[in-house]
Structure 1
Amino acid sequence: MADPSLFARFVAFVGRGAIAIRHSADGPRQPVYGTTPVIPVAKPQGKIPTLKMPTAKGWEGEHKPTTAAGLKVNAFARGLVHPRNVHVLPNGDVLVAESMGERGNPRTLFDHAMSATMRRAGASGDSPNRVTLLRDTDGDGVAEERHAYIENVRQPFGIALVGETLFVGTSDALLAYPYEAGATRISKPAKKLMDLVPGGHWTRNLIASKDGTKLYVAVGSLSNIGDAGMAAEENRACIHEYDLKSGQSRIFASGLRNPVGMAWEPENGMLWTVVNERDGLGDETPPDYLTSVRDGGFYGWPYCYWNRVVDDRVPQDDAKVASALQPDYALGGHTASLGLCWLPEGTLPGFPAGMAIGQHGSWNRSKLSGYKLAFVAFEKGKPVGLPREILTDFLSADENYSYGRPVGVALAADGAILMADDVGDVIWRVTGA
């Protein structure tokens, strides 16, 4: 056990606003973006990587995010409890997964510091464990009704509707509920379709295939780089494919450290995901990424990253490294890109077709990154150019406070963009001005 007096002083230190433990030796770097990023050489930070996170403050009064030119934003719903993901039903009702990371069992001094920091940042605590239904009854872009739709499920995140069945991805299971259009609550018990391993990266996002025969289930790793051995990572760091007819599942793609948001790109019909890469190698090394997901593809974790750059901290598997696919598009280091939604051309004035990305924001680099709703344009089924910003200013200018943190993104029935903000406890709605 660490020295109690030292621990007390350390926790008191991390309790004061946004702090940084162990800055990068060469200072902040420019973000690494695009299809051909120049990724800095790794500088392993040892057992105490950079730790920096703003204190959760929330939005006060009429304060709200800043939009790109030609856009406007309003609160579709306020006063939620850590909203993480949104799903729009055919009748226009909006389902919101309210959940958060569970309190852990810290053992080391850094674990205690990390735990205290996450609590201060509003990223862990008592999870609401609820799916809430929001209804805009008069079409004014604000939800007038709010109902507890599903309660007492462990850390719900992914939601998908196929026919008359609503599927929910919780941290420990894939659940199926009978769906009734217009109902404001599901009272019948769920059917468990698949056990999932809780802990670690706990979000379990879902997306249905276009023909409604399969579900894709994103499951993040337990650890940063297989720290407890690869046996502990079995059926993790991957996307599962679940066949709704047979009830059988298989690993669709692997080597994805923490895939969360998923979306279909319509031109090529490919599944895309955003992935949170490993920690402890520097501000921009390696970058988080947006990538198409190939059936049977392996994307490198934990052995290597990007273009088969080996991570020397990990016991190696040469065959795995040789088979690793390069991701399509770098999103910058540690942006915590979690939400993903395809935007058809014309969704927002001045924006072509592409992907909207909810970037939750970093906790482990010397200058914060993410904390925005970003956009990546697509041409001929592939990402192009540099990212653009849809919503910004979720941080105070001094980076000490976060007013909000973007997470899940979805298209509303009227074509507006809805985005969950789990620090502001708001669902934001973005349209043309």
Structure 2
Amino acid sequence: MKSSTARLLTPLAGVLLTASLSIAQEGNKEVIAQEMEGHIFRPKQLQATPANVAQLTVPAGFTIHKFAEGLGKPRMMAVGANGSVYVTDREAGTVTLLQDKNKDGKAEVVKTVARRKNMHGITIRDNKLYLITVNEVYTAAIKPDGTLGSLQEIMKGLPDGGQHGNRTLHFGPDGMLYVSIGSTCNACKETSGESATMIQAKADGSRRRIYAKGLRNTIGFDWHPQTKELWGFDHGIDWLGDDEQKEELNRITDGADYGWPYVYADGKFEMHFDPQGMTHEEYARKTTKPVLLYDAHAAPMSMLFYTGSQFPADYRGDALVTMHGSWNRAKPSGYKIVRVRFEQGQPKQIEDFVTGFLTDNQRGQFARVCGLAQMPDGSLLVAEDATGVVYQVRYNPK
């Protein structure tokens, strides 16, 4: 038998609130008690003023500037071979076309080219745009001017989103379509077998199957350009404390179970639920452990392996990841872009790449970074959904 009590308070910008959670488990011989303290803190929303943008920190030789602004709440991006940029806005349900025709580093074409409720994930293959809402996948032909043909549904009946309706999709080196489906909750026993999974299908949406499970919310994933292995950054469980659960970088393989909601990290137990028919220890032994861990509640979003030639050569084969930013932590984590250094196809360390979106002694922020996309020239685009800006990061050594 389990009992729990919790006091959850409404978050206020710039105000620190606390909540306590107590869980007791009764058995024949012992009682296991776990006390946890959670925090809610959201930095105050600021604007992306020239002064704020000017104080962003990038590695030596790099620059960052606004590529487009006033975009609402841009989330995920894809870039065509000719440099046309497509940006989704989940809240507005739109896809916006951005074009920098005169190559001055600022998009002069800003045009809505598609609409569907809860549009989020986006990718391009064979001059077709692929888009995903909560329950459906669509495709549309890309016209020579960058606009789109009509949307054609190729997959439907995906499980409801619940807490995590931010679906993403990409094509793997095998030509198959991979879709990340987050959990409907923070920690629970799902009713749909496709929730908290990575699914695989053919390009036309057929032959859909579960590729990997136990993934709470792996929004950002990509394939290493040399090894062709699939890597993804999973969101940890909330309300386990400021430093639990850490975000997990996983090598995602066919048939693997990554533990959610029962175990996490190196086999730690999530005490809300017991796995059916076995102990936590037994379940932990059959799950795949993360390769690297990152700050709890940082909220990894897009993950992109750099393959261009504009950045220094040692960036090729490393991953760049947006950290959207915490709310369930006393001191904020995330609100930055990080670089995951790989050596011989294996991740070795995580370091800051772009910082400074947090200001005022970490009590204010002017960006919550989301989407990443690599331009044909090797520069990097970064979308953020707090003030509606897409930034461009370039390497310009003097």
Residue 102 of structure 1 aligns with which residue?
A: none
Is contact 2:181–2:196 with CA below 8 Å preserved after alignment?
yes
Which of 362, 382, 385 is the aligned partner of 2:346? 382
Q: Structure 1 length as normaliser, TM-score?
A: 0.80
SS of residue paired to 2:161: coil
Which of 240, 252, 276 is the aligned partner of 2:235? 276
Give the CA deviation at 1:200. 1.5
Superposed CA deviations along residues 242-279 of structure 1, whole A, max 9, x for unmatched, are 11257110011110111101111022111111110101
Which of 236, 256, 272 is the aligned partner of 2:195? 236
Give the CA deviation at 1:190. 2.6
Question: 2:271 is aligned with what amino acid?
Answer: D
Q: Does the C-alpha gap of structure 1 residues 405 and 205 become closer, same or farther in structure 2, counting only changes over 3 Å? A: same
Give the percent of matched residue pairs that are identical in Structure 1 and Structure 2.
Answer: 28
For the residues of structure 1 that align with 2:128 and 2:306, how far apart are their CA atoms?
25
Q: Does the C-alpha gap of structure 1 residues 54 and 211 become closer, same or farther in structure 2, counting only changes over 3 Å? A: same
Q: Does the C-alpha gap of structure 1 residues 93 and 403 become closer, same or farther in structure 2, counting only changes over 3 Å? A: same
Which of 331, 343, 348 is the aligned partner of 1:367? 331
Structure 1 runs not aligned, ≥5 long: 1-6, 25-41, 100-126
Which structure has more relative contact order (CA 8 Å, sep 6+)? It is 1
Give the CA deviation at 1:211. 4.4
1:45 paired to 2:36? yes
For the residues of structure 2 that align with 1:194 and 1:237, how far apart are their CA atoms?
17
Give the CA deviation at 1:194. 2.6
Residue 425 of structure 1 aligns with which residue?
A: 388
Superposed CA deviations along residues 10-39 of structure 1, whole A, max 9, x for unmatched, are 76xx44524232499xxxxxxxxxxxxxxx
Alignment of 1:8-407 (within 5 A): 14-15=11-12, 17-22=14-19, 44-45=35-36, 49-64=38-53, 65-99=56-90, 127-151=91-115, 153-186=116-149, 188-196=150-158, 197-212=160-175, 214-226=176-188, 229-231=189-191, 233-244=192-203, 247-317=206-276, 318=278, 320-344=283-307, 347-349=310-312, 351-353=314-316, 354-385=318-349, 387-407=350-370
Superposed CA deviations along residues 58-113 of structure 1, whole A, max 9, x for unmatched, are 212343132222211011111111011111111110000112xxxxxxxxxxxxxx
In the alignment of these two chains, the number of paired residues is 370
Is contact 2:154–2:205 with CA below 8 Å preserved after alignment?
no
SS of residue paired to 1:180: coil
SS of residue paired to 1:63: helix
Question: 1:363 is aligned with what amino acid?
Answer: W
Is contact 1:44–1:282 with CA below 8 Å preserved after alignment?
no
Question: 1:348 is aligned with what amino acid?
Answer: F
Q: Does the C-alpha gap of structure 1 residues 137 and 311 become closer, same or farther in structure 2, counting only changes over 3 Å? A: same
SS of residue paired to 2:65: strand
Give the CA deviation at 1:135. 0.3
Give the CA deviation at 1:185. 4.1
Give the strand-richer structure, 1 or 2. 2
Is contact 1:265–1:271 with CA below 8 Å preserved after alignment?
yes
Q: What's the RMSD between the two structures over aligned residues?
A: 2.3
Question: 1:55 is aligned with what amino acid?
Answer: K
Once structures 1 and 2 are overlaid, which stretch shifts more, 127-136 or 55-64? 55-64
Question: 1:409 is aligned with what amino acid?
Answer: L
Is contact 2:13–2:41 with CA below 8 Å preserved after alignment?
no
Structure 2 runs not aligned, ≥5 long: 1-6, 22-32
